[in-house]
């Protein structure tokens, strides 16, 4: 596709867009293109999700049912598991998971599997963009050769770029439209095409010289977070030993208008990004005989936080064991105001509490049911708080009634400083 044809397709709203993997990243992205009048096909393997989309329903907190419903009704969105429709797409964006294996090594099998499908259905002139987080060179050394199995040549018969997703689920201020986007092509034309396409829905699109750089940008951003969170978690441990309130220290430090950025401690890190992405870089560098010391240390400190949190609770309750205690964990998601429980530290906390033989319950307005330790748990009604020996605030959702927790609970372990400014003998902080 040359720029003239691309302009024409854009101008006539005829650019057909396929989004592979319609999850936390794919859905908000696809819906923005549909809102601009482009026909979007969501390629999914999850039949339940396909059914929901085609019935006009959302399963992501940041996307409203009405947004999906309107797009489907206007014939601008449909979901399918029939990958032969890939043939019809001018633009294909890949947003499939990139998890870690049990040994914390990258699992890019989802990317490989969808690229095999694309290569069998690749349209001459199509643009392929990878958004799934991965290690540098995935786009140029893994995706490109698979797509070229089609007989078409990258940079000549089709275009290929990487663009990291920067979505921050639950963030009310920054969304897909006002968060600057990075793109990097396997060649200059691919990069420029990708930049032009994203500019349709995003205010600022910043093009870097190639896809390796774009992949590395994402890993720098998330390693920066993992390392700084680990540093502040270590500070929390240090402050505990010194009898100093870490939260007050951070609040004071952040009055400095330059050279300081606040990070906050917590009972662990979660989600699909911060605990995982640095491991992709660690693996890549290990293969090159380079030890990523910051990443290793951050992983070690962050992974121990749930254990540390429970240890501190026991110390403050002056108990050797939590056996038989009735404990309510408030907030089960990995961050506030979303319904995503992947790698949530709350799950680690509940698992430790089970091992301690405590009687554990949870409340989360976003998650009705969850599987933990092989069993199903249901969110309890938010009442009778005085019946619990301790309430642990593990995720600080903004819609939780903290005054009620303070008033009714007998003991509160506030791991997120949700009760900031409130003084009570009942409160234990991290």
Ligand X SMILES: NC(=O)c1ccc[n+]([C@@H]2O[C@H](COP(=O)([O-])OP(=O)(O)OC[C@H]3O[C@@H](n4cnc5c(N)ncnc54)[C@H](O)[C@@H]3O)[C@@H](O)[C@H]2O)c1
The reply to whether 132 sits near ligand X by the rule CB under 6 A is yes
Helices 345-355, 293-317: crossing angle, 10 deg rounding: 50
Q: How far is the CB of 153 from ligand X (least distance, A)?
A: 25
- Residue whose C-alpha is closest to residue 322's, from 331, 333, 309, 341: 309
Choose the stretch contacting ligand X; rule: CB under 6 A; options: 20-28, 146-154, 283-291, 422-430: 20-28
The reply to whether 32 sits near ligand X by the rule CB under 6 A is no
Tokens 């105001």, located at residue: 337
Is the Cβ of residue 114 or residue 394 nearer to ligand X in the bound state? Answer: 114
Q: How far is the CB of 60 from ligand X (least distance, A)?
A: 8
Q: For residue 291, with 0-12 CB atoms within 10 Å meaning exposed, 13-18 middle and 19 or more buried, which class applies? A: exposed
Q: How far is the CB of 271 from ligand X (least distance, A)?
A: 6
The residue ranges of DSSP E strands in 167-312, in sequence order, are: 181-185, 205-207
Rg (C-alpha) for the chain, rounded Å, is: 23
Q: How many Cα atoms within 13 Å fall on the side-chain side of residue 227?
A: 14
Q: How far is the CB of 110 from ligand X (least distance, A)?
A: 5
273 is catalytic: yes
Is the Cβ of residue 46 or residue 389 nearer to ligand X in the bound state? Answer: 46
Residue 195 to residue 419: CA distance in whole angstroms: 44
Identify the helix (H) or strand (E) that includes residue 427.
strand 427-429
How many residues of this chain interact with ligand X, rule: CB under 6 A? Answer: 27
Q: How many angstroms from the chain centroid is the CA of residue 343?
A: 10
Is the Cβ of residue 46 or residue 296 nearer to ligand X in the bound state? Answer: 46
Choose the stretch contacting ligand X; rule: CB under 6 A; options: 37-45, 67-75, 318-326, 380-388: 37-45
The reply to whether 91 sits near ligand X by the rule CB under 6 A is no
Per annotation, catalytic residue among 239, 273, 373, 390: 273
Choose the stretch contacting ligand X; rule: CB under 6 A; options: 119-127, 163-171, 318-326, 408-416: 163-171
C-alpha distances out from residue 120 to 147, 148, 277, Å: 8, 10, 29
Q: How far is the CB of 138 from ligand X (least distance, A)?
A: 10
Contact 364, 395 (CB under 8 A): yes
Tokens standing for residue 277: 């992405």
Is the Cβ of residue 109 or residue 321 nearer to ligand X in the bound state? Answer: 109
Restricted to residues 182-211, the positions that interact with ligand X (CB under 6 A) are: none
SS3 at position 140? helix
Residue 167 to residue 198: CA distance in whole angstroms: 14
For 243-373, where are the alpha helices, taking DSSP H only?
Answer: 246-253, 277-286, 293-317, 345-355
Torsion sign over Cα 321, 326, 330, 334: positive
Q: How far is the CB of 43 from ligand X (least distance, A)?
A: 5
Residue 31 to residue 65: CA distance in whole angstroms: 11
Choose the stretch contacting ligand X; rule: CB under 6 A; options: 19-27, 28-36, 281-289, 354-362: 19-27
The reply to whether 50 sits near ligand X by the rule CB under 6 A is no
Q: How far is the CB of 276 from ligand X (least distance, A)?
A: 7
Is the Cβ of residue 59 or residue 69 nearer to ligand X in the bound state? Answer: 59
For ligand X, which residue of 114, 176, 205, 239 counts as binding (CB under 6 A)? 114
Restricted to residues 252-311, the positions that interact with ligand X (CB under 6 A) are: 272-273
Which stretches of the chain bind ligand X, using CB under 6 A? 20-26, 43-46, 49, 95-98, 110, 113-114, 131-133, 165, 167, 169, 272-273
Active site residues: 273
């Amino acid at each position: 596709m040359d720029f003239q044809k691309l302009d024409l397709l854009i101008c006539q709203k005829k650019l057909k867009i396929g989004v592979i993997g319609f999850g936390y990243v794919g859905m908000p992205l696809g819906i923005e293109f549909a809102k601009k009048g482009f026909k979007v096909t969501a390629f999914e393997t999850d039949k339940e999700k396909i059914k929901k989309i085609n019935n006009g329903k959302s399963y992501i907190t940041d996307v409203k049912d009405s947004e999906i419903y309107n797009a489907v009704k206007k014939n601008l969105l449909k979901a399918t598991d029939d990958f032969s429709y890939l043939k019809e797409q001018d633009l294909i964006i890949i947003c499939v998971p990139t998890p870690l294996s049990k040994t914390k090594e990258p699992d890019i099998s989802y990317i490989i599997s969808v690229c095999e499908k694309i290569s069998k259905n690749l349209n001459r002139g199509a643009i392929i963009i990878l958004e799934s987080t991965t290690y540098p060179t995935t786009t140029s050394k893994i995706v490109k050769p698979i797509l070229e199995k089609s007989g078409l040549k990258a940079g000549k018969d089709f275009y290929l770029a990487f663009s990291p997703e920067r979505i921050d689920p639950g963030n009310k201020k920054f969304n897909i439209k006002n968060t600057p986007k990075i793109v990097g092509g396997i060649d200059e034309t691919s990069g420029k095409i990708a930049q032009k396409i994203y500019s349709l829905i995003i205010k600022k699109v910043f093009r870097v010289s190639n896809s390796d750089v774009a992949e590395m940008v994402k890993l720098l951003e998330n390693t920066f977070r993992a390392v700084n969170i680990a540093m502040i978690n270590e500070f929390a441990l240090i402050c505990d030993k010194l009898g100093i309130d870490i939260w007050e220290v951070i609040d004071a430090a952040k009055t400095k208008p330059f050279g300081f950025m606040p990070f906050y401690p917590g009972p662990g890190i979660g989600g699909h990004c911060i605990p995982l992405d640095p491991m992709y870089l660690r693996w890549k560098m290990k293969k090159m005989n380079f030890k990523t010391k910051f990443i290793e240390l951050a992983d070690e400190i962050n992974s121990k936080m749930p254990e540390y949190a429970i240890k501190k609770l026991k110390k403050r309750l002056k108990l050797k064991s939590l056996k038989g205690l009735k404990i309510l964990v408030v907030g089960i998601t990995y961050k506030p105001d979303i319904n995503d429980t992947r790698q949530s530290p709350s799950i680690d906390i509940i698992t430790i509490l089970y091992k301690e033989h405590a009687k554990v319950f949870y409340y989360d307005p976003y998650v009705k049911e969850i599987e933990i330790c092989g069993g199903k748990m249901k969110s309890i009604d938010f009442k009778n708080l005085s019946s619990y020996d301790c309430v642990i605030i593990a995720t600080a959702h903004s819609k939780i009634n903290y005054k009620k927790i303070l008033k009714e609970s007998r003991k509160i372990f506030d791991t997120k400083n949700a009760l900031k400014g409130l003084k009570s003998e009942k409160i234990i902080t991290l």
